[in-house]
Structure 1
Amino acid sequence: MTNLLNGTIPRGLFNLPLVTIIELTDNFFSGELPAEMSCDVLDQIYFSNNWFSDEIPPAIGNFPRLQTLFLDRNRFRGKILREIFDLKHLTKINIKCEQHHRGDSIFNLNLYFVNLR
C-alpha cells in the first residue's frame, strides 16, 4: 500500500499479538530488517518495493504461520536463508538477493507461487 512512508521498520511492529498481515509495499522504508523479530500469528508479509538493504536476517524464520513473503524490489544482498525454507506454511515467496540458496530445501515446501530472481 503506497503511503510514501519512510524511515526504518520499528522493532515493535513484529510484537503486535493480533496482527496477521503487514503490508508496507511501495514506500520508502530503508535500512535493515530488525535482527530480532517473531510473531506466532503473522501469516503475510509484503515489503516489496522499498529501500531495505543488507542481508535478510535469520529471524525471518520466526514466523511459524507465515504463508506469504514478498521482499522483492529492495536492495538485499547475501543468500536466501535456510530459515526461509523451514517455514512449513509458506505458499508464496517473492525475493531477490545477490545469491540464491542452492539445494533441495525449496522442494520441501508446498509453494504455488515462487519468484527468486
Structure 2
Amino acid sequence: MSFSNKKLGMFIRNGRLDKNLTQEQLAEKLDCNLSYLGNIERGKNTPSLRLFIGIIRILNLSADKFIYPDSDSSNDTYQQLLRLLKQCTQKERKILLENAHTLIENREEKPIEP
C-alpha cells in the first residue's frame, strides 16, 4: 500500500461530510486548529496518531477502510453514491439494487478485468 496525504485527506473529508459536520464543528470536537484540519483534508498535513484516532472515533470511521481501501474508494463518484445510499430507506436501496443489476445485465460494453 502506498500512503498518500491526499487519500487520507479525502478519507477524513468524506467521513466528515457523511456526519454532516463542517470543518469548524469537527475542529472544535477535536480541540484542533481549523486551518490545520483544513490542511489535513487537502493533503498538506498529516495528523498525529492521537489526532487520527480522535478523528476516526468522532466520525465513526474504520481505519481498515483507509489502510485496506476498496479499489474504488478514492473515486469521488463512488463516495457520492455511498453517501446517498446512507440516506435511502431499505425499500429505496432494494429498488436501486434492482436497477444496478438491470444496468449491468444490459450494458453494451463489458469492463476490462484488471
Using the size of structure 2 for normalisation, the TM-score is 0.20
Answer 1 or 2: which has greater helix percent: 2
Answer 1 or 2: which has greater strand percent: 1
Using the size of structure 1 for normalisation, the TM-score is 0.19
